[in-house]
Amino acid sequence: MKRIFGNHRWTWLTAGLVGLALVAGVGLGPHLGFTAGPKTPLWTERALDLAPSSVQAPNWVELVKQLKPAVVNVNAKRTEGGGSAMRAPFGQGDPFEQFYKQFGEGAPKRSVRSMGSGFIINPNGNIVTNNHVVEGATEITVKLSDGRELAAKVVGRDPKTDLALLKVEATGLPTIALGDSSELKVGEAVMAIGNPFGLEQTVTTGIVSATGRVIGQGPYDDFVQTDASINPGNSGGPLINSRGQAIGINAAIFSQSGGSVGIGFAIPSNQAKTVVTQLADTGRVSRSWLGVAIQPLTPELAKGFNLGDAKGALVASVTEDSPAAKAGIKAGDLITEYDGRKVSRSEDLPRLVADTPADREVTVTVLRDGQPMKLSAKVTKLDEPDQKVAGEVGEKGKLGVAVEAVTPEIAKQLGLKEAKGVVVKRVENGSPAANAGIRPGDVILEVDRQPVKDLGTLKQLVDKHAKGTPMVMLLQRENATIYVAV
């Protein structure tokens, strides 16, 4: 759940929602995974030459001196208003509801700014931050520790892991190395650097409270929990170990007041490495698909399935014609190993699939009626229906929309006679598509008088459109068709 504290967007969980979020892991949908990225990493993994012994306290003073220059303030500008600018004050049923609906849609838009943190991972200006810090931004400015303010470009975003990669035009910048988060131990000392409540270059310390936390933020939940004080504004900043390496990206807090209560969550650095590599390479994250819905194995279910004290991910259902179905995986199977790695709990499987390149054969070990079986599955690339077409807001010549192929089911929902074209799911504020009047729910039928058959066709037509000239699009809006010039 996203909540605004002042002018900062922050992931915020209430006490009631945390309990709900942990239960929400039961019955996850088809699992996804990441494909391999470039061979040469963008970052260094070196530790600083001041690693303390196991009996010495971390040298935080020296660590802060060396690492603070690599932590930046991320200032994102967004456009808000329009249809959401005016609301009936008493909610549904308010006698003035129609007035607010009629005149609120014409209310002027306004620019708002939100602040977060980030850190530089290589000298050429690549910066890691949270997706929710820059999502929907029309303008991003990064402030360095030396006072310089640089315009930043979004290289790519991944909402599913809440990570984003930015780029500024600069060289010779200070960096923070990415460490190995799999080596983290509960009780280990850590330090957070960021800009809480806009207070730049703030440092807090604490310990690792837990690892592998699932808080209901998505299928790849694997958070590091810490009691190092994290507040709104720390989003995207590094969580650093005693060797001077970032082993997490601060992303969320548990709080009923909006301030730190000693429960913060960071995205593990190993997960970030996989995502950031792909964002740098292609601007997006490709995911693999196994095709099972899973749930935790409770003691009662284990007894009912004659599984004893076995551990793993219980298959609730298998998608027809999926890699799992072709491999012979069935509902009721308990997946105990995937590609030679143990599956101790249901939350492990999505992350293991996430490390698998598409079209790779993997061995899946299952328990069926108490008997182990080894099956071979060829995971495939997931064709995600909701995908960004033609890049981010602010890039020259780009649309700024997310679209989905019109399936027979969607065609029926929209009242279309046939399933053709692509339907607009989201329009970025301030984008060329928004300025042209394109709305969510519009079906794009043609681009430059050429029919749009699917997502690939739309991208091809947009990419080959001549820059500097209006792009003519034919839309179906409700029961009528209209042309717009983008």
Active centre residues (catalytic): 132, 162, 235
| Phi/psi of residue 23, nearest 5 degrees | -75, -30
| Phi/psi of residue 65, nearest 5 degrees | -60, -40
Give the contacts of 30 (CB within 8 A, at least 6 positions apart): 289, 290, 291, 292, 293, 319, 322, 382
| Phi/psi of residue 22, nearest 5 degrees | -70, -35
Among residues 158, 383, 161, 378, the alpha carbon closest in space to that of 290 is found at: 378
* Contact (Cβ atoms closer than 8 angstroms) between residue 248 and residue 269: yes
The number of CA neighbours under 13 Å toward the Cβ of 385 is: 9
Type of residue numbered 32: L
- Residue 15, classed as helix, strand or coil, is helix
The CA angle 273-401-422, to the nearest 5 degrees, is 110
Task: Report the C-alpha gap between 125 and 141 in whole angstroms.
Answer: 13
User: How many C-beta atoms lie closer than 10 Å to residue 65's C-beta?
Assistant: 10
Query: In DSSP terms, which residues pair with 20 in a beta bridge?
Result: none
* Contact (Cβ atoms closer than 8 angstroms) between residue 215 and residue 18: yes
Give the contacts of 248 (CB within 8 A, at least 6 positions apart): 181, 190, 224, 226, 238, 239, 266, 267, 268, 269
Task: Report the C-alpha gap between 163 and 133 in whole angstroms.
Answer: 9
H-helix or E-strand containing 428? none
The CA angle 382-383-385, to the nearest 5 degrees, is 130
Sign of the C-alpha dihedral computed for residues 352, 353, 354 and 358 taken in this order? positive
Task: Report the C-alpha gap between 102 and 293 in whole angstroms.
Answer: 44
